[in-house]
Structure 1
């Protein structure tokens, strides 16, 4: 009815910028057809999605994307939030839409938008098949980005692959990001690609700490994280590397109560009395967490029960702060100084 009354199909304004973007964002095929017949500008810029193709791509509306591409929609037109149609489609892993855009020569390395590039967008969503498609099209795995610094970190915050050793923000590098999320298969891929297991970072300092941070339940740890730690050690991870929130790998494992991993680290030469990190040492970390078996293991291996340092000062204070009476008793029997 509006078209019969000569409504301007290309009028600009509002959240969607124009009518075509609004219809495309909802996947309204018939409406899109009508607007295109009335010469709606397929490449009109503006609105939240930047253009109609990005709006349709973000929603995964294959038929609408086809119609827009047939009408010569600019596959590389820059937008606002997602930078381009490819990045918009990749956020949710719409494989068929991605295929159509790539056939139309979408620039896999175009920069911009929240995720900075297509590979980061796909990586953040953990869309393995889509990531593979991008890599086949020579997506730059080393391209630097915005929030995740590089594609691998984004991929790794959710699950896949980029500049393996590039330094970045919270996770510092791809391997740490993958490990922090517990993506075992991703870790394997990164190690095959020669990821630097000893690259220094920020919060987790190194790959071992990132891996050990994960796995709150022992059962989950035994099934996954133990194997991940093994992989890192096989690949020459420095077991006593210092830095980060937990100071070292043993402290990180002790804090989480990862009994099997603590054993593994000790067998492989972890320094039981190494100082550093929030908890000062492994014994203090395990004591505050209330992990009795870990505390006992550390004491058997001659952990210094009166070692000073860290947030709580010593292991006894850490156990007391956590309200772990049984552990306080264990530490006292082991010679903890009450003064």
Structure 2
């Protein structure tokens, strides 16, 4: 690592001043193997004085590493308010987009309320799309930062903007927190928006075994039979892990789903439950009318799935139901 980058990383002001005094032709923006400059390193760790020294020496404020991360994004991710303000005052591009996120998304993901407000006041586009979380609202919602969700909504965030693995803010919130879900529902979020990995907010909540959120979404009009995403539907999502929540499964069954609905990675709920070996859930599904002979998808049928998963008790249960 070059002395300049080391000084930026460790926050050594005196080292940098000495280097700049003795080396007239040193490359202040020399990147490391990941494309990171001293300014990006210093910004990530909130070394305000070092950031100012580097800027005064002519560092490229909008330089990007190989993931297109800028100094402003790095500072925003860590919630370094003073560093963020220094960079903005020096002309940093508040809306520069990286592979993973922009500055507003970074601050929203990290739960840094003051930094979010600073960026919005500086003209950050609250509805900018791109990166892992697609929007700042999705980032805040997925992490359960309710106060930031409210700040972004008050700033004009599109509550139903779609895209990315979480598709919408409501689906992102449904994996985790009740408060965020309630805020979004109260503001008119589309409870049946389709897309993303889970396919729907209800499937996301079901997969996460969040009983309260599942009930909230159903009460808000979520379609218990909605199909989409890798998880197929809410019932299949609820049984797609070894620690499936029996209460969530029963809540969904009480809502009247098609227990034999086809779709998703496993093809149907019984195949999913059988593969993961949750005998109680398998029995609940069988009692609810699940067809033991229904064709599945990834493993062929429920019995094959149970055999593949090595769950002897589930295998016996399924064979007893076969003609």
| TM-score after normalising by structure 1 | 0.75
Q: Deviations over 1:201-252 (max 9, x none)?
A: 14321122222233xxxxxx4xxx1122223223322211012222110011
**Cα 1:145–1:163, aligned 2, differ >3 Å: closer, same or farther?**
farther
Out of 2, 26, 38, the position equivalent to 2:10 is: 26
Aligned partners of 1:251 and 1:281 also within 8 Å: yes
Q: Report the secondary structure of 2:228's partner residue.
A: coil
Which residue matches 2:228? 243
Is 1:113 equivalent to 2:98 in the alignment? yes
Aligned partners of 2:138 and 2:169 also within 8 Å: yes
Aligned ranges for residues 137-176 of structure 1 at < 5 Å? 137-155=122-140, 158=143, 160=145, 161=149, 163-176=158-171
The structural deviation recorded for 1:86 is 1.9
Q: Of the two, which has the highest radius of gyration?
A: 1
Which residue matches 1:194? 188
Aligned partners of 1:143 and 1:163 also within 8 Å: no
Q: Report the secondary structure of 2:213's partner residue.
A: helix
Aligned partners of 2:28 and 2:58 also within 8 Å: no
**Cα 1:192–1:102, aligned 2, differ >3 Å: closer, same or farther?**
farther
Q: Deviations over 1:249-283 (max 9, x none)?
A: 00110223221111111112222221222222212
Aligned ranges for residues 312-323 of structure 1 at < 5 Å? 312-323=299-310
The structural deviation recorded for 1:139 is 3.0
Is 1:296 equivalent to 2:280 in the alignment? no
The structural deviation recorded for 1:133 is 4.2
Q: Deviations over 1:27-82 (max 9, x none)?
A: 1022234456679799954524666543321121123235556x497895343355
Out of 230, 237, 248, the position equivalent to 1:261 is: 248
Aligned partners of 2:129 and 2:135 also within 8 Å: yes
Aligned partners of 1:90 and 1:122 also within 8 Å: yes
Structure 2 distance, partners of 1:28, 1:75, is 19
**Cα 1:83–1:326, aligned 2, differ >3 Å: closer, same or farther?**
closer
Out of 37, 58, 77, the position equivalent to 1:91 is: 77
Aligned partners of 2:274 and 2:314 also within 8 Å: yes
Which residue matches 2:152? none
The structural deviation recorded for 1:89 is 0.2
Is 1:60 equivalent to 2:46 in the alignment? yes
Q: Report the secondary structure of 1:287's partner residue.
A: helix
Q: Deviations over 1:137-166 (max 9, x none)?
A: 553221012344333344455555565433
Aligned partners of 2:73 and 2:102 also within 8 Å: yes
Which residue matches 1:311? 298
Is 1:277 equivalent to 2:277 in the alignment? no
Structure 1 distance, partners of 2:73, 2:62, is 11
The structural deviation recorded for 1:291 is 1.4
Q: Deviations over 1:290-328 (max 9, x none)?
A: 112212222222222322232233323322332322223
**What RMSD, in angstroms, separates the aligned Cα atoms of the two structures?**
3.4
Q: Report the secondary structure of 2:240's partner residue.
A: helix
**Cα 1:305–1:270, aligned 2, differ >3 Å: closer, same or farther?**
same
Which residue matches 2:201? 207
Which residue matches 2:116? 131
Count residues with an aligned counterpart.
308
Structure 2 distance, partners of 1:85, 1:42, is 20
